Amino acid sequence: MRKTVGTLQRLLIGATLVGAAALAPLPAGAPTEPAAASVLARDACGPILKKWNGTRWRCSFVDNFNGRQLDRDKWGVQESQRSRFSTGMTCYMDSPKNIKVRQGKLRLITLKRSWLLCGAYKAFITRFTGGMIGTKGHFSQTYGRFEIRAKFPPTKEGGLHGGFWMYPIEKTYGQWPESGEMDVAEWWSYTPHVVLSALHYDGRTKAEDSSKRCRTRTPARFHRYSVLWRPTMMRFYIDGRECFRRAWEPDAPQKRPQPFDHPFSMILNMGVTEYTRDAKITNKTEFPSAFVVDYAKAWR
């Protein structure tokens, strides 16, 4: 996910199955995740899932967004006015207009409003606010399985951008991208059927470290987006079907599993892009627009 304003050092915060027919075609025999161990065996995350070796995943984080407001014991909220962090032309706000929890769903909402000066140092002028939350300071983990069930806005107009990504707690190997970043489900409204999976690190090759094969015909319906993070391989899934895998190769002096060998937090956001390129905001871009999340979970 492209970072355009401020410094990452001050970043404050870092699905029930849907039919396989909703996905764009993948090669015959595309790998799927193991099924739940038993419909009768459950933990805090729901039905207990099996690993590839037959052992069971252990739930380490879950938020079903069942309350009336965001659980601040699990999530921090990004505030661009204070942190100087943004993406595109989005001023992230800690506001109920941008972040809502109701009826068991989280809604991260991007709005168009009157012009505002976002931030103090390295401030920028924009008309767009959005919502971003993350688990930094509340939850982080090295390796495991991470998943959300979510849907994106029902639009094909350019200008909207958001999704589910992961970022390291500490800059163990240096500034971005040297310490790594995982984009589990990154979405742009100008290519709404692509829900991009990607890795960012020193030595990244765009063609090999991201996959436009991660896509769905129905992005405005709920789907499960997940990543299986292991020391030597990342596997990305939509509704349990693998759409991308990568055994990354960092530049020297790093060696795999670096830089993906230290704790990462989970981040969810919804905002806008910049005014340039194919993804630009237009007078047809729809506001307000919401990224709706049913749950966020992690397993060890």
Q: What is the pLDDT of residues 119-142, one digit of tens each?
A: 877 799 999 999 999 999 999 999
Residue 30, pLDDT > 90, answer no
pLDDT, residue 235, reads 98
| Per-residue tokens: 45 | 């995350």
Residue 180, pLDDT > 90, answer yes
Q: CA-CA-CA-CA torsion for 196, 202, 207, 209, nearest 10 degrees?
A: -40
pLDDT, residue 1, reads 58
Q: Could you tell me which residue, 9 or 249, shows the higher pLDDT?
A: 249
Q: What is the pTM of this model?
A: 0.89
Domains of the chain (ranges, CATH numbers): 8-17+60-299 (2.60.120.200)
pLDDT, residue 277, reads 76
The answer for residues whose C-beta is within 8 angstroms of residue 114's C-beta and 6 or more apart is 127
Residue 12, pLDDT > 60, answer no
Q: Could you tell me which residue, 158 or 84, shows the higher pLDDT?
A: 158
- Percentage of residues in the chain having pLDDT higher than 90: 79
Residue 8, pLDDT > 80, answer no
- H or E element that contains 81: helix 80-83
- What are the pLDDT digits (tens) for 42-59? 999 999 999 988 899 999
Structure confidence at residue 35 as a pLDDT band (50, 70, 90): low
Q: Residue 33 CB: number of other CB atoms within 10 A?
A: 20
Residue 16, pLDDT > 50, answer no
Residue 298, pLDDT > 60, answer yes
